[in-house]
Amino acid sequence: METHIYQPTDVKSAAEDIKHGELVAFPTETVYGLGADATNETAVKKVYAAKGRPSDNPLIVHVSGIQAVEKYAEPLSDAAKQLIQTFWPGPLTIIFKLKPGSLSKAVTGGLTTAAFRNPKNQVTIDLIKAAGVPLVGPSANTSGKPSPTTAEHVYHDLNGKIAGVLDDGPTEIGVESTVLDMSTAVPAVLRPGGVTADQLRSVLGTVIDEKHSVSGNEAPKAPGMKYKHYAPNAQVYIVDHDADWRKASQWAAEQPTKVGVMTTDAVMDSAKWPANVELFSLGSDVKSASHLLFKGLRHFDDEPEVQLILTEGFNPDGLGEAYMNRLNKSAGQMHFEIKK
- Please tell me whether residues 199 and 267 are part of one structural domain: no
Any domain includes 218: no
Neighbours of 101 (CB within 10 A): 8
Of residues 76 and 53, more confidently modeled: 76
DSSP state, 220? P
Q: pLDDT by residue (tens digit) across 104-146?
A: 999 999 999 999 999 999 999 999 999 999 999 999 999 888 9
Residues 18 and 136 in one domain: yes
Q: Rounded CA gap, 216 and 110, in Å?
A: 16
**Beta-carbon contacts of residue 279 (< 8 Å; ≥ 6 apart):** 261, 263, 268, 273
User: For residue 253, what are the CA distances in angstroms to 87, 114, 242, 246?
Assistant: 47, 49, 21, 11
The CATH number of the domain holding residue 307 is 3.40.50.11030
Same domain, 203 and 246: no
Mark whether 252 and 147 lie in a shared domain: no
Summarize the annotated binding site for L-threonine as residue ranges.
Answer: 30, 62, 117, 177
Same domain membership, residue 278 and residue 198: no
Q: Is residue 155 part of a domain?
A: yes
Among residues 192, 209, 226, the one where a domain terminates is: 209
Residues annotated in a binding site: 30, 53, 57, 62, 113, 117, 139, 147, 177, 191, 230
Task: State the angle between helix axes of 122-131 and 11-19 in degrees (0 to 180), rounded to the nearest 10.
Answer: 40
Task: Give how many domains the chain has, as a whole number.
Answer: 2
Q: Which tens digits make up the pLDDT trace of 255-270?
A: 999 999 999 999 999 8
End of a domain among 194, 209, 224?
209
What pLDDT shows up at residue 244? Answer: 86
State whether 84 and 132 are in the same domain.
yes
pLDDT digit string, tens, across residues 156-209: 999 999 999 999 999 999 999 999 999 999 999 999 999 999 999 999 998 887
Task: Examine the domain organization and report whether 201 and 240 are in the same domain.
Answer: no
Whether 308 maps to a domain, the answer reads yes
CB burial class (10 A; 0-12, 13-18, 19+) of residue 253? Answer: middle
- CA-based nearest residue to 96, from 74, 117, 78, 66: 74
The mean pLDDT of 58-74, rounded to a whole number, is 97
pLDDT for 228 equals: 58
Q: Is the domain of 179 the same as that of 241?
A: no
State the binding site for ATP: 53, 57, 113, 139, 147, 191, 230
Query: Quick check: 127 and 26 in contact, CB under 8 A?
Result: yes
Would you say residue 55 has pLDDT above 60? Answer: yes
3-state secondary structure of 5: strand
The closest of 8, 37, 34 to 21, measured between CA atoms, is 37
Is there a domain that residue 225 lies in? no
Tell me, yes or no, whether 38 and 113 share the same domain. Answer: yes
217 found inside a domain: no
The torsion angles phi and psi of 274, rounded to 5 degrees, stand at -75, 170
What range does the domain containing 318 cover? 235-336
* Whether residue 197 sits in one domain with residue 77: yes
Q: Which residues of 132-171 are buried (b: 16+ CB within 10 A; e: fewer)?
A: ebbbbbbbbbbbebbbbbbbebbbbbbeebbbbbbbbeeb
Query: Among candidates 155, 175, 37, 168, which has minimal Cα distance to 106?
Result: 37
In a domain, 220, yes or no: no
173 and 84 assigned to the same domain: yes
pTM of the model: 0.91
pLDDT at position 212: 56
Asked if residue 94 belongs to a domain, the reply is yes
- Does 223 fall in a domain? no
CA–CA dist 207, 314 (Å, integer): 23
Listed residues 158, 191, 209: the one ending a domain: 209
The amino acid occupying position 173 is I
Q: Is there a single domain that holds both residue 247 and residue 182?
A: no
